[in-house]
Chain A
């Protein structure tokens, strides 16, 4: 039961440092499975560690966010050390989220989830025109969103019960940011809309927790005496 003191309450996710031994083993397993599953010619390896958590379930579940890029090694070569390409176009870097389920007492690991999306670099053509990013999902947007969400969690001291809950709240946070941008672009005043302490709530949660639907039930209103108008300034 050595691990128990290192975990929070059952089910809660604990942030990991890159040097964690268990994490290294899980990451190697995920990398291996990733290469087996892809038909790319070159071996791809983790080029940058972003974040990871572990959670006590029947065994240990690791959730890892990393960048994966092309090395110069062909898959067929059995070279031990492989360098990354220097040219960013050849790197073909992807942002990936892996979920590895590790069962130490059976010495087995399972890749539960692998989600990767390419990182699109701005394409500078001869005419120096920068490609329009708005209709693609660049990594910068994802990383910026993660950064904003992290700031939000710290500022408003938000704690979620599980990794799934955190990911769900991140999605709601993202939707709310888009609504705020819409409000912002169409506002006729000088307001600033954006992240508030309610940014991780769906519109329905916000309405049912903080608002007062009775107010718009006009039939409930008790008629009141009219106020006398103002006399003078």
Chain B
């Protein structure tokens, strides 16, 4: 894989969003991935609706949490995702008012990635931003820089937050993952969290997935 890569430099990442007081990180992680996949296949970057998933994805639990693997399946069954502007985010569950005619992007299937960080790095550079999940304990206190918490603070089995891997590189010799979060732009570094790359820190390698757009 190249020494560094950042899909923000290639137009495949929409602006940082804000999930508000709702556990809907899974929806933002998945829409972020599909935005990237749709861009790479069709050349247009859309901002896709998380609220549609919060309201209409019956496999998941809206603000009480959800799984990317379920969300991909729900999107396939629904027939696709509407744009953010057509189905805007409110941060709490409402009745589903999905409209097929407004579908802006669809997916054909979804895949799970290897748990080897080198493989993940190469896959990201070749295929686009990746939906991932990690232990977010340190993120409550994070302001900036490359975070590398001790394992006792970041149990890799206690995964509790889904985010989007958009790039990787090195800062002053410290390898990092660039992670798009969904807590608004006033969090971390303009909405991004940078995590040490190479030690499976915080379980970042455990739940990598992507939609497939033919």
- A-side residues, CB < 8 A to B, are 156, 176, 179-180, 183, 186-199, 201, 203, 206-216, 220-233
CB pair B113–A215 under 8 Å, yes or no, is no
CB pair A214–B149 under 8 Å, yes or no, is no
Q: When chains A and B are docked, how far (Å) is the Cα of A199 from the Cα of B141?
A: 7
B interface majority secondary structure: mixed
Q: When chains A and B are docked, how far (Å) is the Cα of A179 from the Cα of B148?
A: 15
Most chain A CB within 10 A, of B69, B158, B160, is at: B160
Residues of B within 8 A of A211 (CB): 23, 25, 136, 160-161
Pick the contact of B174: A190, A196, A220, A225 (CB < 8 A).
A190
CB pair B111–A179 under 8 Å, yes or no, is no
Please give me the residue from chain A that is nearest to B61 by CB atom: A214
| B16-62 interface with A by 8 A CB criterion | 19, 21-26, 60-61
CB pair B2–A233 under 8 Å, yes or no, is yes
- B-side residues, CB < 8 A to A, are 1-2, 19, 21-26, 60-61, 64-67, 69-70, 72-73, 109-114, 119, 122-123, 125-127, 133, 136-138, 140-150, 153, 157-162, 171-172, 174, 176, 183-184, 186-187, 194, 196, 207, 209-210
CB pair A210–B146 under 8 Å, yes or no, is no
Most chain B CB within 10 A, of A183, A195, A203, A223, is at: A183
Please give me the residue from chain A that is nearest to B175 by CB atom: A189
CB pair A189–B67 under 8 Å, yes or no, is no
CB pair B133–A179 under 8 Å, yes or no, is no
CB pair B119–A229 under 8 Å, yes or no, is yes
For residue B129, give the distance in angstroms from its CB to the closest CB of chain A. Answer: 14
Give 15 new A-B contacts, CB below 8 A, not counting A179-B141, A227-B112: A186-B149, A187-B147, A187-B150, A189-B146, A189-B196, A190-B171, A192-B144, A196-B140, A197-B184, A199-B141, A210-B21, A214-B60, A215-B67, A216-B157, A227-B111
CB pair B153–A190 under 8 Å, yes or no, is no
**Closest 10 interchain pairs by CB?**
A189-B148, A230-B122, A214-B65, A227-B111, A191-B147, A224-B112, A191-B145, A212-B65, A180-B141, A188-B148
Please give me the residue from chain B that is nearest to A193 by CB atom: B141
CB pair A188–B19 under 8 Å, yes or no, is no
CB pair A215–B112 under 8 Å, yes or no, is no
Residues of B within 8 A of A224 (CB): 69, 72, 110-112, 209
Pick the contact of A186: B23, B153, B176, B187 (CB < 8 A).
B153
Please give me the residue from chain B that is nearest to A206 by CB atom: B140
CB pair A198–B150 under 8 Å, yes or no, is no
CB pair B141–A176 under 8 Å, yes or no, is yes
Pick the contact of A213: B19, B21, B60, B65 (CB < 8 A).
B65
